[in-house]
Structure formats: C-alpha cells, structure tokens
C-alpha cells in the first residue's frame, strides 16, 4: 500500500519560521522608529502646503517613497556602523551584529530600497521630490555616517539635516517648489535635533565612549550639554513662531507658544539639575521623550490648522 506524500509546495514549520525571522531582521535594518517619527512630519506638511487634503495617490506616493528612503538610509547606516554597533549595548542586537543578516545582504537591501524610494518619489510625486530624496539619503549616509559621526561632537547638528528633509520633500511633492514655509519647517527640525538627541547620548555615554564616537552628550560634562540644550530649545521655539507670519493660523500658534514654553521649561529644569550635580539619566530621558511629544503636537496642529484655523496675518 502506497503512502500518500505531502504536496511539493508544503514547507516545514522551521522554514516558515526562518523566513519570518529573516523578514523581521530586514525590517529592523530600516530603523522603523526613526521612520515613524519622520512620517509624523510629512503628512501635516503636505496638508499645510495644500491648504487641505492633497490627492490620496500623492499622499501615498510621498509617504511610501519617504519611508523607503529613510529605510534605505537606516540600512546603509547599519551596514557602515556594524563594527561599532557590536561595542554598544544599545545596538548590540541589530541584525548585522547578531548575524541574522550578512553585510552583503544588507548592502544589496539598502541599494534596492533607495532605488525604489527615488522612483516612487520621482514618478509618484515629481522629480524635485525625487531629487530631495536623493539628497536626504546622501546627507545621512555620507555626510553624517561616513564623514561626521566619528570625527566631531557636532555630528548630530549637521548630520541631523537629513532628518529635516522629509518636510522639504513633502512640500515639494505638493507645490513642486521649496518655499519659505518649508524652509521654516526645515529649520524647526534642524534646531530640534540637538536637544532631542543629546539627552539620549547623555544616558548612553558609556556606549558612545566605548565605541569612540564623540557624541557631545558623551564627551562633555552635563552642565555644558545642558546649556546647549537650553540654547537650542530657545532657538527652536523662536523659529517655530516664524511660521505664523508665513500663513499659519491660531491652532498652530497656540501649539507653538504653549508647547514651546513647556519644552523650554523642561530644558531649563535639565540645566538646573545638571548645575546642582543632581542630573539623573531619567531626567535626561524625560527631555528626550518630551521633545518627541513637542514635535508631534506641533505638527498635529499644523495639520489641523487649515481646517479650523485662519491665518493670523492674512
């Protein structure tokens, strides 16, 4: 009596489990938490530029293209920094460190994501959005990761410009131009990046020192870093108010003033604790998480503004 054989297409549970784990590893290479934060700024910028909801197809092309571009930059970063990632507890579980993805696989994956991202932005939005996508990847991979990160304590200041590019891409996708409001939004995020990231680097200073990466929060004293956080916070809030004469309404104005005052207060509290020698990592992380909340509220107000607010200086 012949036994019935399983269909040739059936795969053992181990193989299916292995595929899922591999896919998860590739996904981790893209740094999804960073992508999520970047997308928070993209859609509100498009809505503000349009004065309402842009076409759904344009939104999808810009969001997907932007996410793929950020994912490509993140994967390139993991490939380049795999030697120092294994030295830091914060990054020791990244796929290239654990061996779940090989360097060759990561490099090919990075290039594929980048090419697809630019194609989506170029043909789904417009060539200007595609060109800005190329610039964003270049800034993060070459300027920040290859040139600045291991050489200067100002790495996150200038390298952080890559994280500001989504607002330019979003604005260009809607208007096919880069105009003054887009520049203001770019500057807000540019000035936001140091007080967002330096408190994090204060907490993980041992990691950065072990990897010989000169993050300011790791190599400078808490007092010096807290002063910089306060100065950048004030500059960021002042810059955010420039969007009001550029067409923002009362909803955005309230969020900018109230949210800005709260973040400045938290920054000064960080400085006060550092000055008294009482700064604890939890206090630094409160500013880090608070900066994310601030940016989210600011851009949420930007998205709501065209529907319920009218320009204050119309």
Q: What is the pLDDT of residues 189-207, one digit of tens each?
A: 999 999 998 888 888 888 8
Mean pLDDT on 288-302: 95
The total number of structural domains in the chain stands at 2
Is 68 in the same domain as 192? no
- DSSP SS3 for 249: strand
Is 222 in the same domain as 173? no
CATH number (domain holding residue 199): 1.20.120
CA distances from 277 to 1, 9, 24, 125, 274 (A): 83, 65, 42, 51, 5
User: Which residue, 177, 192, 209, sits at the end of a domain?
Assistant: 177
pLDDT at 86 over 70: yes
pLDDT the model gives residue 189: 95
pLDDT at 43 over 90: yes
Q: How many residues does the chain have?
A: 314
- DSSP SS3 for 2: coil
pLDDT at 313 over 60: no
Q: Tell me the backbone φ, ψ of residue 69, rounded to 5 degrees.
A: -65, -45
Is 167 in the same domain as 216? no
pLDDT at 314 over 60: no
pLDDT at 10 over 50: no
Range of the domain at 239: 179-314
Please indicate, yes or no, if residue 12 is contained in any of the structural domains.
no
Share of the chain above pLDDT 70, in %: 93
């Amino acid at each position: 009596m012949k036994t019935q054989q399983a269909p040739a297409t059936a795969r053992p549970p181990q193989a299916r489990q292995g595929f899922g784990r591999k896919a998860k590893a590739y996904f981790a290479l893209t740094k999804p938490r960073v992508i999520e934060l970047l997308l928070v700024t993209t859609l509100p910028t498009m809505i503000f530029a349009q004065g309402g909801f842009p076409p759904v197809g344009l939104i999808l092309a810009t969001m997907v293209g932007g996410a793929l571009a950020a994912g490509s930059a993140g994967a390139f970063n993991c490939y380049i920094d795999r030697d120092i990632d294994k030295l830091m507890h914060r990054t020791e579980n990244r796929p290239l460190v654990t061996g779940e993805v090989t360097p060759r696989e990561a490099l090919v994956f990075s290039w594929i994501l980048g090419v697809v991202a630019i194609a989506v932005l170029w043909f789904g939005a417009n060539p200007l959005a595609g060109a800005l996508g190329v610039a964003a990847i270049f800034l993060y991979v070459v300027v920040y990761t290859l040139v600045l990160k291991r050489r200067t304590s100002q790495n996150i200041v200038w390298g952080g410009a890559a994280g500001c590019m989504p607002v330019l891409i979003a604005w260009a996708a809607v208007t096919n131009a880069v105009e003054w409001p887009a520049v203001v939004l770019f500057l807000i995020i540019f000035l936001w990046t140091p007080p967002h990231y330096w408190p994090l680097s204060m907490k993980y200073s041992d990691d950065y020192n072990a990897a010989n990466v000169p993050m300011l929060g790791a190599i400078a004293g808490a007092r010096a870093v807290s002063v910089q956080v306060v100065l950048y916070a004030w500059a960021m809030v002042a810059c955010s108010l420039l969007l009001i004469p550029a067409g923002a309404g009362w909803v955005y104005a309230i969020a900018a003033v109230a949210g800005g005052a709260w973040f400045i207060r938290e920054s000064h509290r960080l400085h006060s604790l550092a000055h008294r020698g009482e700064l604890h990592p939890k206090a630094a992380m409160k500013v880090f998480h608070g900066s994310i909340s601030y940016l989210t509220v600011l851009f949420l107000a930007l998205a709501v503004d065209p529907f319920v607010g009218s320009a204050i200086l119309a």
